[in-house]
Amino acid sequence: MAAQSISFPDQRQPTTTLEASTGVGRLGGHPLFVQTDSGHSRVEERSLHAFAIEPMTADFPFARSLIALRSQRTIKKTGHSTTESRYYLSSAMPREYRDEQWLEFIRGHWGGVEVRNHWRRDALMGEDGLRSRNANLLANVALIRCSVLALLAEHHSDLSLPQVQEHLHSRPSRCFHLLNS
């Protein structure tokens, strides 16, 4: 399968109920692909439709598709439901992939972000332990952490990050050498 670029703007628009005008299984008169999952003490129904768009309509030069995804989560124990709509842009045409594939791409992207990025910054560098509300401080510390991870990956690609961290922990001179490289 050829690689396609997919942009994932995080434009969440929570709503309390499905709009009566669209009806379940339809979005603005368009049929939806619907998938239901049960687990983690909740039931989640995802409805997806991929629309063809003109690139400059979305102000993204290579955008060819707008993927609309509506998720309705119901907590089994309480019956409390929430509905969230999210929108994604892709350079692929809407019919290049089946609806199931679009959903896999979206879920795979966010799962990959957690594994590749957040876990490393949190587990190895204690990112979630920083409780400051100063936006400038948080942005600067995040930039430093990402830069350090990039340096470590470039210079110590043969070792796991915990091994590199342990190796450099007792050798401050090597840390300074790494920063000066």
Per-domain residue ranges of the chain:
7-118, 130-180
For 8, 95, 135, 140, 166, the CA distances from 175, given in Å and listed in that order, are 35, 50, 27, 19, 12
pLDDT the model gives residue 2? 40
pTM of structure: 0.53
Which portions of the chain are predicted below pLDDT 70? 1-31, 112, 114-115
CA dihedral 149, 152, 154, 157 (to 10 degrees): -110
Report how far residue 89's alpha carbon sits from residue 92's, in angstroms, rounded to the nearest whole number.
9
pLDDT the model gives residue 164? 86
Report how far residue 48's alpha carbon sits from residue 44's, in angstroms, rounded to the nearest whole number.
13
Position 162: which residue type?
P
pLDDT the model gives residue 118? 76
